[in-house]
Amino acid sequence: MSSTIKRILSLLCVFVFFFVMVTLLKTWQAGGDFGALIPSFLRFSQKKSTQTFTPSNKAVLNLGDVQILSRLNQEYAKLTKAVVPSVVSIDTAGVRTEQQVDVFGRIRVRSYPTQGQGSGVIVSREGHIITNHHVIAGQQDIRITTHAGKTYGATMIGEDSLLDIAVIKIDSNETFTPLKFGNSSSVEVGQIVFAIGNPFGLGETVTQGIISAKERSLSDNQRDLFQTDAAINPGNSGGPLVNLTGEIIGINVAIFSVDKNNPSFQGVSFSIPSNEVKDTLEQIIKRGKPIRGFLGVRMRDLDTMVRRELGYQDENGSAVYVITPGSPAELAGLLPGDVILKYNDEKITSTQQLISLVQQSNVDEVVKIEIWRKGEIMNFQATIRESVSIESNSNNPLQDKEKINLGILNTIGISVRNLSGIEARRGFGGVVATMISPNTLASGLIQPDDLIIALNNSQITNTDEFYLQLAASVPKQETILHLIRGGQPLRVNLPKL
């Protein structure tokens, strides 16, 4: 063997030795198995170890040990089985039009297809369904899916946008299984309730909770709501809130969420009491629309701060803090700062009581109102009007040329709308910017969908207040707008004209 070949073999042996050593060192550092380095055909056959696995075949408790929980479990299931056949899923479709202003100030109208989902509950054998007004508002096609999986078309019968209730009827001559209305006046804080609906379009879902509170209303065009901790999410709207006997005690309407663009359940949900829903249903069936009394006041309960501001010592009554222009209250002579003591000789102990009395009054009924005003007791008479007719006259405050300078508002360039019922019940207040005209005072500062909650540190409650205060402030001073944009608070300063 030549010396050259010997040198090559020596170098090869050295290379193999160092390669093996490096491989073993890396395997050891990595905590690996040295046996895995040996080719399978060189390994000695070995017996695989048998794993011992003994699962439990007995529950830790017998049903006899948890009899109350066992019966409660059975009764929950029994209640659910009895209720869900009357709950339906609602799918809607339609076309929405929207006005847009181009860079040249021209208004263009664009159309967008819309789709929505919600829930409803069957309340008659003929197939009448209660749902929320916002579920079907503006939608041309309504489809109903029952618990059995059958799909039907549906026809609008009537709606109450203030209460956020709509009545639709299944397009079928079949006989359906309705749920009975319970008495919401007998509902107590702490009682167990169940919410049934179609959250996120997932299908029939049941959640359980309690009545957390009986909510109060702040004006006489909004009914009081139940607050519950039963999980309610988008898609649950219009579904029933039922008691332990499967009676409807509320219609799920809203959740409270700090993010109005991406609402989600945070332990606070709201439902419209069944007595109010039933009353509206009966009026829609008989007359085609609901009719309720309207006085035109926004009220405050007499807490310590309000009594101190007014100099009022008693605890009974309800304080007026806003009068709707042109309303029966204004025509009767009521003023902000008045304390309403009696309504038709009935003593007022809370704002909720007063609102209920007003709404139960007949249209054109003349009511007696006793008030306290700066230490004096005064009596007035007001003619109750229908709330819808009053609201329809005040939807566009820009028509009130005596109170608002249209030239100033055009220069500022902000158009706003009132909050919808669902937005208001999520805990928001203020107005929403809808359009900002180009080359105006507000362009570049305000954006569409901004929630404007205050003007010059004064809370905004509706479009009337906003336009009036804005037109009065901007010509005189720098105007501060407090708003929420994308869930974040923001302050904007409009310069003086």
Sign of the torsion formed by the C-alpha atoms of 173, 178, 180 and 184: negative
pLDDT of residue 41: 47
- Residues 105 and 110: their CA atoms lie apart, in Å, by 15
65 is catalytic: no
- Residues 255 and 270: their CA atoms lie apart, in Å, by 6
- Residues 36 and 203: their CA atoms lie apart, in Å, by 52
How many CA atoms does the CB half-sphere of 331 hold within 13 Å?
14
> What is the CB neighbour count within 10 angstroms for residue 31?
6
Residue-range domain boundaries for the chain: 3-36, 76-290, 293-389, 397-494
- Residues 256 and 271: their CA atoms lie apart, in Å, by 12
pLDDT of residue 29: 65
- Residues 275 and 285: their CA atoms lie apart, in Å, by 15
H or E segment and range at residue 120: strand 107-122
For 397-494, the fitting CATH number among 3.40.50.1970, 2.30.42.10, 1.10.569.10, 3.40.50.300 is 2.30.42.10
pLDDT of residue 117: 83
pLDDT of residue 346: 92
185 is catalytic: no
Q: How much is the pTM?
A: 0.57
- Residues 277 and 291: their CA atoms lie apart, in Å, by 13
Catalytic residue, candidates 217, 219, 237, 415: 237
164 is catalytic: yes
Nearest to 440 by CA among 410, 468, 460, 465: 410
Amino acid identity for residue 24 in this structure: L
Nearest to 24 by CA among 15, 14, 33: 33
- Residues 481 and 474: their CA atoms lie apart, in Å, by 11
- Helix, strand, coil shares, percent, the chain, to 5: 30, 35, 40
pLDDT of residue 48: 59
Amino acid identity for residue 174 in this structure: E
pLDDT of residue 43: 52
Distances (CA, A) of 326 to 331, 368, 392, 419: 7, 19, 12, 21
- Residues 393 and 395: their CA atoms lie apart, in Å, by 6
Nearest to 228 by CA among 267, 198, 180, 197: 267
- Residues 133 and 130: their CA atoms lie apart, in Å, by 9
Catalytic residue, candidates 86, 89, 119, 134: 134
Amino acid identity for residue 192 in this structure: I
H or E segment and range at residue 170: strand 165-170
For 40, list phi and psi in degrees, rounded to 5.
-60, -35
pLDDT of residue 6: 73
- Residues 393 and 389: their CA atoms lie apart, in Å, by 7
- Residues 31 and 483: their CA atoms lie apart, in Å, by 60
Q: Decide if 76-290 and 397-494 have a common fold.
A: no
Contact 455, 469 (CB under 8 A): yes
Digitized pLDDT (tens) for each residue of the chain, 497 residues in all: 567 777 777 777 777 777 777 777 776 666 655 555 555 544 555 555 678 888 888 888 888 888 888 888 888 889 989 999 999 999 888 877 665 555 555 556 677 787 888 899 999 999 999 998 888 877 888 999 998 889 999 999 988 877 889 999 999 999 999 999 999 888 999 899 999 887 766 667 888 889 888 765 544 445 578 888 887 777 778 899 999 999 999 998 866 544 445 554 556 778 889 988 998 898 888 877 777 788 888 777 787 878 888 889 888 899 887 787 778 998 999 998 899 999 999 999 888 788 878 877 888 899 999 999 989 999 999 999 876 543 333 334 333 433 445 667 777 888 888 887 666 655 567 888 888 888 888 888 999 888 898 887 677 878 877 887 888 788 878 888 988 887 778 889 888 87
- First-to-last alpha carbon distance for the chain, in angstroms, is 107
DSSP state of 221: T
State the fold for domain 293-389.
Pdz3 Domain (2.30.42)
Catalytic residue, candidates 119, 128, 133, 164: 164
As its CATH architecture, domain 76-290 has Beta Barrel (2.40)
